[in-house]
Amino acid sequence: MERLVLRYKDALRALHTLGEILQQPFSTIVRDATIQRFEYTFEALWKFFKDGRSIKEIPDIPFMNHSILIKIKKAWRYVKWKK
C-alpha cells in the first residue's frame, strides 16, 4: 500500500508540473517541455493505475487495457515527430 501512495504522489506532482507548463506562452521550448511533461505524466499515471489494480479494494478499470494505452502512446509519438 505504501508503494501505491508513492505512485499517487508522483502522479500528482507530474500533473502539477504539466499544468504549470500549460500556463506558459507558446514557444518551441515550451512545446518541447510540454511534450516531455506529458510523457512523464502519462507514465506516472500508468504506473499508479497499474499498481492500484493489484489492490482488491480498488475496482478494475475498463480502460486500463495495456494494448490500448500502447497505441495511444505510439500515436502521440507519431504526432509529435510529425510536426
State the amino acid at position 45 in one-letter form: L
> Could you give the CA distance from residue 22 to residue 25 in angstroms, rounded to a whole number?
8
**Residue 40: its pLDDT value, please?**
93
**Residue 80: its pLDDT value, please?**
56
One digit per residue, the tens of pLDDT, for the chain of length 83 reads 688 889 889 989 998 998 999 899 999 999 999 999 999 999 998 888 888 777 655 555 555 556 656 655 665 565 555 54
Domain coordinates of the chain in residue numbers?
A: 2-82
Please state the pTM of the whole predicted model: 0.66
Residue 59 per-residue DSSP state: P
Sole residue written with cell 501512495: 5
| Residue 83 in grid coordinates | 510536426
Rg of the Cα atoms in the chain: 15
CA 49 to chain centre: 10
| Residue 17 in grid coordinates | 508540473
